[in-house]
Amino acid sequence: MVSARPTRSVGPPIAVLGIPWDANSSHRFGCAAAPGAIRAALHSGSGNDATEHGVHVVPELRDVGDLDLANERASTADADAITAALDEQLATGRRVISLGGDHAITYPILRAVARHHSDLTVVHIDAHPDLYDDFDDNPLSHASPFARALEDGCMARLVQLGIRTATQHSFEQAERFGVEMIGARDLASFDASTLRGPIYLTVDLDGLDPAVAPGVSHHEPGGLTVREVLDVIDTLPGPFVGADIVEYNPSRDVVEMTAMVAAKLLKEIAGRMLSTA
């Protein structure tokens, strides 16, 4: 019988925070129901609590529940509440894995992370660059979080992976802000050895192919495999200070398969955080 490896515990526990905020979506709603569905998949009993590296991560997670938000479109009060909640967790020394919500959550998150970590590198997996200067007259649109975060100087470097539907405007925005945009077809050119911590990872589940993650609002064929995303996670250097998983839309899912992908990514992200303090 193989004995269990001891749980590796490096630093304070990792906080898991649900952010049920989808009012800034531009096409469909439903991502606000994601945090509970991802938790249900994580604790469904279909798997164990260990990562692929044998790190027992689930006991290291401190679920701090869901934020109580008005979930109103373009609400700066909601955005400020998200920033305040992250700030509160980060002040305790915890790293936070946030469960969206749509991708709009990442701008208020990064405002808080930047207060605690300078020279931040953000690794961003997505079909879309989310760099719109203006989308539907909503500054907080889920199509704009990285434009807002770059305007605020929240990061030193933004590396986007899996992009496969960028408009000319998005390319211009990438040029303006010095964003490194690596398309899905060019993923092999991603050189993880150039990454330096602190690292923040944001995973929009539509960065994966809809064949493996159908539970998203925007299906964009030609995306990443689960294995490719896991390989990216494995390459991240420390300190790995935070992450989010966004755009899971349970109303679009098929037999909870995307929830299970999100739960798997949650585990492997947490495992990487614990081994790259």
Question: Which residues lie near Mn ion (CB under 5 A)?
Answer: 103, 126-128, 130, 204, 206
The distance of closest approach from Cβ of residue 206 to Mn ion in the complex, given in angstroms and rounded to an integer, is 4
Bridge pairing between strands 240-246 and 199-204: parallel
Minimum Å distance from CB 165 to Mn ion?
8
Q: Find the shortest distance in angstroms from Cβ 147 to Mn ion.
A: 12
User: CA torsion sign, 68 to 72 to 77 to 79?
Assistant: positive
- In the complex, what is the shortest distance from the CB of residue 123 to Mn ion, in angstroms, rounded to a whole number? 13
Q: Which is nearer to Mn ion, 55 or 266 (CB)?
A: 266
Between 96 and 127, whose beta carbon lies closer to Mn ion? 127
Burial of 93 (0-12, 13-18, 19+ CB in 10 A): exposed
Nearer to Mn ion, 103 or 117 (CB): 103
Phi, psi of 206 (to 5 degrees): -75, -5
Q: Which residues of 188-225 are buried (b: 16+ CB within 10 A; e: fewer)?
A: eebeeeebebbbbbbbbbbbbbbebbbbbbbebeebbe
- Smallest gap, in angstroms, from Cβ of residue 102 to Mn ion? 8
Q: Which is nearer to Mn ion, 96 or 104 (CB)?
A: 104
Which of 211, 166, 208, 172 shows the shortest CA–CA distance to 187?
Answer: 208
Measured from the CB atom, the residue of 126 and 253 that comes closer to Mn ion is: 126
Q: Is the dihedral of CA 97, 196, 149, 249 positive or negative?
A: negative
